[in-house]
Structure 1
Amino acid sequence: MTLSEMIAVHDETALAALASVGVVRRAKRDFEAGKATVTTRDDASAAVTADGKTVTLTASGLTAATCTCPATGICRHILLAVFALRAETSEDAAPEQSIADALQALDEADVRKFAGADWDKAINLARISGRATVTQDGANLTVQLPDVEFPVVFLAGQGLAEAVFKGAKTAKRRITAAAVLVVRDQSGAQQLDQVTQNADKTAQISPAFLQRVQTAIVGLVTGVFGGGAVVAEDTVFDLSISARAQSAPRLTGLLRGLVQQSRQQRAHHIHFREDRFLADASRAFALTKALEKHPEDTQLTGTLRRSYQTHPDLDLTLLSAVQWTAASGARGLRIYGYAPEQETWFTTGQARAAGMDPGFSPRNAYDAPLWGGGIARELIGKRLHLRHIRASDDHQIAWDDGEVTQAPMPDMAATGAAFDNWAAARADIAKRSPTGLRGTGAPVPVLLMPARTGDAHFRDLDQCYELHVTDNSQTTITLNIPADQHKTVEWLHHNKASVHAMLCEVTVADLAQQLTLVTVLHKTRSGPLAALNLTLDQQPEEKTAFGDRALSFLKDKVKSRSTDQTLRPTLPVTQLCHAVFDATAEVLRFGQSPALDGLAERADALQLALLAVALRGLTQQPTTEQALRVSYLTTQIVVTA
């Protein structure tokens, strides 16, 4: 490659990836002010006087450039010299083949050779980067992986080693290789599930690995509250994409989440919350301790692949279908059914991990055959008799196997599945929601039969609608509806009388249980109940004739009304837990907190003896490990309060 070809591909995007947008802008202003002069130039090298400094560049690339100023790396003068050389370089000097075509022309052996020992980590990183963005910029290509702070810029005419990455040098090779795999996957050159991995996918996590993770978590927490978390972030992220971490997907997810929150804290992002970070860090730390004792417990590691066994015949009423996506790019369809004789909820569904089977769509699965009894969409709201099925220990039914006969939906109140009393519903949720480290975090379905349905209110801070529903004892609870469900809010506003029951998914968000409305069972004009799956179905039009003007009015009305705070009481236990998080953060930041003794006394008064002991231990031993112990206990208490 000649000097002109090298200079031609270093546009402003590539320069910003090497330095920063601010420095590039200043260098451009200096060039426009006439502060650079090209003194010598040929096909191999050039010398430029840039704002009084001498810059020497070669065809090898900008990383080999030198400047007489004391700064290290790509300084302002080098960027200024590039602008001066680009002004004298014809656009025709750029390579004819785009880097996108060049990357597609590679084969797996080429990428494997470049990645070297980081090959497996590159594959794992690519597979969890389902939401990566690939942007064509002239002949160059920019790849932004969702879990990586800085993009990778591939330059036309240059090899993988010359790709631009502003992050840690130790991470460049694996992140660049992962970006190549993402490009090749999205272009169809080679799908990620066809890439050959070296590591044994069944390898178990080891005590030594868990010790490294514990040390990394402590370092990250210390860095977030004391400053200087960048190195710890890289360590935690490196561990999260290692082959051993992949055998424990729950731990992998927690580690990745901690890295993302740490970056938010460094950027002073509004979404960063100290209590949530402490809760997640303490959960990850406690999980590593548990995995030391039980490394093969699937409730602790998470499930990579379910084991199905033959199940007796089953009467099942399918009540809900939900499409979901994860931050990693994984997506799927989840279907809920209730078996009255067993008094048990069952699920079935289809899902794909990030980067796997790009042709898969949850909506397509919704219209696919299920158990040989018709397409899934048409089975929702039906009572089914299932034969020859297979099910797992966690009541998941295999999608393909089985035979079905259908009947109309039964009275769900008579089956015991539906609740018209919220106290009984909460007791049932608590019974079916494992707590502690063995809690899987999977959504728990609950079917509610409200006596009265209120109006939806929009919460700007949480960016969701709140719907207040009242039971037969005049107790009110709050259901969440995602912000994009405007039409659902509209439909519910005009069809309250036809609502028979509501199926919600119970999850833990922001250290509290959250009920998200996913399906409405409503009466139809023809008589039988019908299921309206909010994430998949269009709202019926038989009772709603609502134009754009009316919808606009409804949105204004919903947003202008404030939420009744009496429906969201703050319990003494909850108040204590939030105060404990604040004091723990103070200990991590300053080494002590005068509030600890008083909080321990309040914990004793509320009969939270373990928390009181832990708080006094933090006073005597103000270490990060002890702070994580306090945070874990607090998390478990506030979630179940």
Structure 2
Amino acid sequence: MSDLIPLYAQIEDTTLEAMASKGIVRRGRADAANVQFEAIGADEIVGKVEGATVRLDDKGLAKARCSCPAATICRHKIAVVFALRTQAGEPPATPAVEIDWPARLAAFDRKVLQGAVGKTGLREAIRLLALAETTTIEPGQLSLRVMLKSNAEEIEVAIPAEGDFNAVVSGLPERRRPAGHAAAILAARRHFGHDAIELDEPEPATDQKGFVPDGPLLAVMRDTLCRAYAQGFAVPSRALEERLMLLAVSSRAEAMPRLSTSLRRIAEGLEQRRLRNVNHDAAELLREIAFSHALLHALSQTNDDARLRRLAGTVRAEYEPIGDINLIGLGATIFETIAGAVGVTGHFVEPATGRRFTTTLARGTTHDTRFDPRDAYRNQAIWGQTLARLASASFRLSGAQASSTGRLSLSQTSRAEAIQPFKPDRESVAAWTVDHNAPLADLVHLSWPMLAGHLSRCFAPSLDSPAVAAQPVVLLPSRIAPVAFDDLTQRLRWPLMDASGAWLSLTLDHDDEGRGLGARRIAALEAALGDAGNKRPFAIVAMARPEAGRMVLEPMALWGETQSSLDFPERSPAQAGDVVSRIMAGLRRTVAQFAPPPPADITMRQTSQLLGNGVDALIGFAESGLHASARERLLVPLAKTYQLASLDPLAQLLSRTTATSHNNDTASAALAAAQGLFTMQSFTSRLQVWS
């Protein structure tokens, strides 16, 4: 019998679930009966299942190869492992010798861990452990299961009873495994009473008042970003991703957290491109590289201490105590990111200051079938309560901790107290807007032109401060028109009029991606507005965000006799073909009688199209490897077009790109042009208001 069979047959279910998920393991078990072995040799095992070919060698399951396009441990590899169990015979129910886990973990001392992951990897592992709000250690028959749960993600790692650091497994992306595995070992060591591991020299405290950028480090980062543009779009490589991650976690980069975070995002974007992830967005990757390049340039050219500190970002703990605060729940939304994270976010406001806060229950991947955001919203406890109760209540949060961006910690030391249902009415909400200097004046809006101005200021681009991703606003319309659904664009439009007769439009996209959030929200909104038993809402809570050169308002919750959340309706939306659907179909046909359609803004549309063409051209130039023929074909005509369109600054930036010959200089000029394009897109984003 091949020596490789026991190597794989002894892998227990706990380890397989840590590498993939329970769902994939369950499917792999079912597929095991269909596995056909082409070869079982001393050096390699080759198995086929459902057209996929799996190759196993002595490097372990994490290094196994499969012909299917899955980027992680797939069900085909799991199926072959189960088939090999059958070949070897199922292992006994209990191990012959009880595993001495304290002794096993004692072998992973500081010297061993630092030798395995390096000083930067060990530093990142210590950070991950510090961010973990809960840790779970579960000894199994042949492995130790470790789970680190933070506000952002849940890391699950399996530590086998034998083997070195390379034997530790998880479902983490390859670039994140060293630090994630080391963090799990540190957590297990702490659980079994071992001394904490620290770096061999203390990290110097960063004095932000005397912050001075590291010139050589900035030069290395700039060169790497130029390579990311010049090579990453054409021939993405793992080496370039690792280089960016090493720069991001270096001790000197930690003094510039905004730059460090951006480098991580670029590494993740390049990885998605290399793995041909269907959710990869080339424009967003270019935006992130251009932003980092511009931030590096500003850091290297600025002498003002105050601006340097703003550019670098505040070096502070992930969360800081902010004492006891009174909050009002504005609602909650479900989200799913391009990277696969899924969760639910609650939105709150502090009436005393007007500051917005959020808290999130999430998982880093949709493969975790144990997590459902709707179930977490209704049943998972935060601060001693459920998010379903707090999202529509006023309460005091004692012992609150928050990040600089307003994210609230889910620490068990914080408690929600004095909870009262929040029952808004039009008069009390409108009173918040009486004084324009009041804390809540920027939250509630009666005038759409004033709202447009507020959002333009809120989302104005600036290198000196992080961009605002989304902003909740409360709209108090004087008139509400029926919803209209555009079958061509698959977008719902909901016109609202203010007291002066100005109109704006809330929108919802009907998308079938991920969990179909857009379709669910449209159905919930139509059901709420079409129910004759409910009065029209007096206020709408909406999320505002810039998107592709325009400002988008998406409804989140409706305030009327009751509060209704589109992602969490009190009852399931009615099925198509019933009375409500027929009523809504009639309202769609007559919507033009209630609200005039938005006028075509030809000038803004043409500008947006020109800017989009520039982004596409720079991506195409990068995909060609900065080839001279692509420059002549894509960039030279575009520079002339911008000059004719009176966009002289953009024309000059593109002209610099066409005037250079060295690859690094060309890439640097192209990234400067990209930053100019994205900045112009941000400035032209505006909320459309019409009469």
TM-score class, shorter-chain normalisation, is 0.5 to 0.7
Aligned to 1:110: 108
- In the alignment, the residues of structure 1 paired with residue 573 and residue 82 of structure 2 have an alpha-carbon distance, to the nearest angstrom, of 57
User: 1:427: which partner in 2?
Assistant: 453
Cα distance, 1:265 vs structure 2: 1.9
Candidates 155, 158, 165, aligned match of 2:163: 158
**Matched residue SS, 2:393:** helix
Q: Determine the C-alpha separation between the residues in 1 that align with 2:403 and 2:176.
A: 40
Provide the C-alpha distance between the structure 1 equivalents of 2:488 and 2:249, rounded to a whole number of angstroms. Answer: 35
Corresponding position: 1:176 with 2:219: no
Q: Which amino acid aligns with 1:364?
A: I
1:299-321 C-alpha deviation (Å, 9 max, x unpaired): 6525745889999xx9x995725
Structure-2 change in CA distance of 1:195 and 1:155 (3 Å): closer
1:366-381 paired onto structure 2 within 5 Å: 367=385, 377-379=392-394
Structure 1 residue 629, shift from structure 2 partner: 0.3
Match in the other structure for 1:364: 382
For residues 129-185 of structure 1, the C-alpha deviation after alignment (integer angstroms, 9 at most, x for no partner) is 99999999995689999999x997755543433336999999864453245458x59
Pick one of 469, 474, 484 that aligns with 1:447.
474
Aligned-residue offset at 1:547: 5.4
1:120: which partner in 2? 123
1:583 deviation in Å?
A: 1.7
State the alpha-carbon separation in 1 of the partners of residues 682 and 435 from structure 2: 29
Is residue 616 from structure 1 mapped to residue 624 from structure 2 by the alignment? no
- Asked if the contact 1:130/1:330 (under 8 Å) is kept, the reply is no
- Describe how 1:129-528 pairs up with structure 2 within 5 A: 139=142, 155-163=160-168, 173-178=178-183, 180=185, 184=188, 189=191, 200=203, 202-203=205-206, 206-292=214-300, 293=302, 297-298=309-310, 300-301=312-313, 304=316, 318=328, 320-322=330-332, 333-336=346-349, 345-348=354-357, 364-365=382-383, 367=385, 377-379=392-394, 409-412=428-431, 414-415=434-435, 417=441, 418-442=444-468, 443-450=470-477, 451-455=479-483, 457=485, 467-471=494-498, 473=501, 475-480=503-508, 482-483=517-518, 484-485=520-521, 486-494=523-531, 497-509=535-547, 512-522=550-560, 524=561
Distance of 1:120 and 1:621 partners within structure 2: 40
Map 1:52-67 → 2, pairs under 5 A: 62-63=58-59
**3-state SS of paired residue (1:438):** coil
Shift of 1:614: 0.3
Q: Secondary structure at the match of 1:502?
A: strand
Structure 1 pair 602/317, CA: closer, same or farther in 2 (3 Å)?
farther
Contact 2:448–2:502 (CA under 8 A) maintained in structure 1? no
Letter in 2 for 1:609: D
Q: Provide the C-alpha distance between the structure 2 equivalents of 1:235 and 1:325, rounded to a whole number of angstroms.
A: 31
TM-score, length-normalised on structure 1? 0.65
Deviation at 1:625, TM superposition (A): 0.9
Once residues 181 and 275 of structure 1 are traced to their aligned partners in structure 2, the CA distance between those partners, rounded to angstroms, is 39
Paired residues of 2:299 and 2:311 also in contact (CA < 8 A): no
Match of 1:56 in 2: none
Alpha-carbon distance, 1:273 to partner: 2.8
Pair 139,430 (structure 1): closer, same or farther in 2 beyond 3 Å: same
Q: Secondary structure at the match of 1:594?
A: helix
Give the corresponding residue for 1:43: none
SS in structure 1 of the partner of residue 463 of structure 2: helix
Deviating more after overlay: 480-489 vs 221-230: 480-489
Superposed CA offset, 1:171-228 (max 9, x none):
864453245458x59xx9499xx98677638447733333333222222222222214
Q: What's the % identity of the aligned pairs?
A: 15
Distance 1:153 1:556 in 2: 55
Question: CA offset at residue 534 of structure 1?
Answer: 5.4
Q: Which has the higher contact order (CA 8 A, sep 6+)?
A: 2
- TM-score, length of structure 2 as denominator length: 0.61
> Given the superposition, is the C-alpha separation of residues 230 and 440 from structure 1 closer, same or farther in structure 2, using an over 3 Å criterion?
same
CA contact (8 A) 1:202 1:247 kept: no
Residue 637 of structure 1 deviates from its aligned partner by 0.6
- 2:22 is matched with which residue? none
Give the whole-Å Cα distance in 2 for the aligned partners of 1:492 and 1:84: 55
Change (3 A) 1:346 1:168: closer
Answer whether contact 1:124 1:243 (CA < 8 A) is retained. Answer: no
Q: In structure 2, what is the Cα distance between the partners aligned to 1:176 and 1:354?
A: 18
Gap runs ≥5 in structure 2: 20-32, 48-56, 67-76, 365-370, 510-516, 685-691
CA contact (8 A) 1:511 1:635 kept: no
| Contact residue 499 and residue 521 of structure 1 kept, 8 A | yes
Letter in 2 for 1:637: M
DSSP 3-state at the match of 1:218 = helix
Residue matched to 1:40:
none
| Structure-2 separation of matches of 1:237 and 1:555 | 55
1:376-411, Cα deviation, whole Å (9 max, x unpaired): 85328xxx9xxxx99999999999999999998252
The alpha-carbon deviation at position 611 of structure 1 amounts to 1.3
Q: Cα deviation per residue 1:275-315 (whole Å; 9 max; x = unaligned)?
A: 2221111012212333343685246525745889999xx9x
Q: Residue 257 of structure 2 contacts residue 314 of structure 2 at CA under 8 Å; is this kept in 1?
A: yes
Unaligned runs of 5+ in 1: 18-27, 38-45, 52-60, 65-72, 525-529
Instruction: Quickly say closer, same or farther: Cα 1:346–1:272, change in 2 above 3 A.
Output: same
Work out the CA distance in 2 between the residues paired with 1:128 and 1:309. Answer: 18
* Residue 640 of structure 1: how far off its partner (Å): 2.1
CA displacement 1:307-345 (0-9 Å, x = unmatched):
89999xx9x995725578896899875422567xxxx84
Q: Secondary structure at the match of 1:600?
A: helix
CA deviation profile, 1:82-128 (whole Å, cap 9, x unmatched): 999977644337982899x8879865883644321331123345678
Contact 1:36 1:84 in 2 (8 A): no
Instruction: From the superposition, tell whether residues 261 and 532 of structure 1 become closer, same or farther in structure 2 (CA, over 3 Å).
Output: same
How far the C-alpha of 1:491 sits from its partner, in A, is: 1.9
**CA–CA distance in 2 between the matches of 1:303 and 1:621?**
37
Which residue of 2 is the match for residue 603 of structure 1?
642
Aligned-pair Cα RMSD in Å: 6.3
1: distance between equivalents of 2:100 and 2:289?
42
Residues in 2 aligned to 1:32 and 1:415: alpha-carbon distance in whole angstroms: 76
Q: Distance in 1 between matches of 2:583 and 2:88?
A: 56
Secondary structure in structure 2 of the residue aligned to 1:478: strand
CA distance in structure 2 between the aligned counterparts of 1:438 and 1:510, rounded to whole angstroms: 22
The amino acid of 2:181's aligned partner reads T
Counterpart in the other structure of 2:90: 91
8 A contact 1:8–1:86 mirrored in 2:
yes
Distance of 1:596 and 1:415 partners within structure 2:
51
Per mean C-alpha deviation after superposition, the further-off stretch among 576-585 and 465-474 is: 465-474
State how far apart, in whole Å, the 1-side matches of 2:81 and 2:507 are: 57
